[in-house]
Amino acid sequence: MKPIKPFLVFVVLCCVSTQVSFAQSSSRFSKEKYISEKGDTLLYRQLYPDADTMRKYPLVIFLHGSGERGNDNEAQLKWGVMNFAADQNMVLHPAFVIAPQCPEKTSWSNFSRERNSTDAKLQSAPTKPMELLIGLIHKMIRTMPVDSNRIYITGLSMGGFGTYDAIERYPNLFAAAVPVCGGGDASKASLIAHLPIWIFHGSEDPAVNPKYALDMLEALSKAGAHPGFTQYPETGHFSWLAAYSDAAMLEWLFRQHK
């Protein structure tokens, strides 16, 4: 029998450790569903803080990308949101975290744009998933110890567009936003100039043109805002791997208040 190479053992152990860590973190998100007065359903996962009854907690909304759409109420945990369930973050930043799942062939955002253009225009009506999400947020405010002055929203790719859609439609609902490799309606920048925003994008993103982020950065700056902006060099579409692992971003996010 050939001896097992130490490096191979290390790789296997790392893979097993990652799988165990993912399983432990995902188990912290309860499976839930929100049913509107019209009877429409939004599936979501919820992370609870180690809550007592003497205080209120922030609420973080996490919007997944297009590849995680469906009805298994599981796929939306694949990227990014697990960082909020890490031991250290739950100790330093206890919060409610909502990760809804967008059904197939639907989207978080309702922007119109010409082919090969980054000029997005916000349409008058929200998508059904966004409408349900806003209803869920208001239900959380009514029924849970949520600090309504500390509601944060973030999302990646399709969820990055959804983040801009949400804050441009409901500019007074959120205390801060972190859009990752997304874009919004630059003509609406004045509506959200008061809102703390940190934009993330990869400089070589082949799926979402980095110009979306640059357009929003320019429009927000012209409107008098002071957004954070991080463009990772030599990085493609997976800029969220670095963004949600950034301890400085998390520290910044949980400092924000309306």
Residue 22 domain-assigned (yes or no):
no
Residue 19 domain-assigned (yes or no):
no
pLDDT above 70 for 15: no
Using an 8 Å Cβ cutoff, are 200 and 181 in contact? yes
Residue 226 domain-assigned (yes or no):
yes
Residue 89 domain-assigned (yes or no):
yes
Give the range of the structural domain holding residue 209, as residue numbers without chain letter: 30-255
Residue 13 domain-assigned (yes or no):
no
Residue 212 domain-assigned (yes or no):
yes
pTM: 0.89
Residue 207 domain-assigned (yes or no):
yes
Residue 222 domain-assigned (yes or no):
yes
CA 87 vs. chain centroid, Å, equals 19
Who's near 235: CB < 8 A, 6+ residues apart? Answer: 202, 203, 204, 205, 242
Instruction: Summarize pLDDT for 26-71 with one digit per residue, the tens.
Output: 789 999 999 999 999 999 999 999 877 688 999 999 999 999 999 9
Supply the CATH number for residue 52's domain: 3.40.50.1820
**82/126 Cα distance (integer angstroms):** 27
242 φ/ψ sector (left φ>0, alpha ψ -120 to 50, else beta): alpha
Domain total in the chain: 1
Instruction: Summarize pLDDT for 241-257 with one digit per residue, the tens.
Output: 999 999 999 999 999 99
Instruction: Summarize pLDDT for 82-135 with one digit per residue, the tens.
Output: 999 999 999 999 999 999 999 999 999 999 988 878 899 999 999 999 999 999
Q: How many CA atoms lie within 13 A of 13 on its CB side?
A: 6
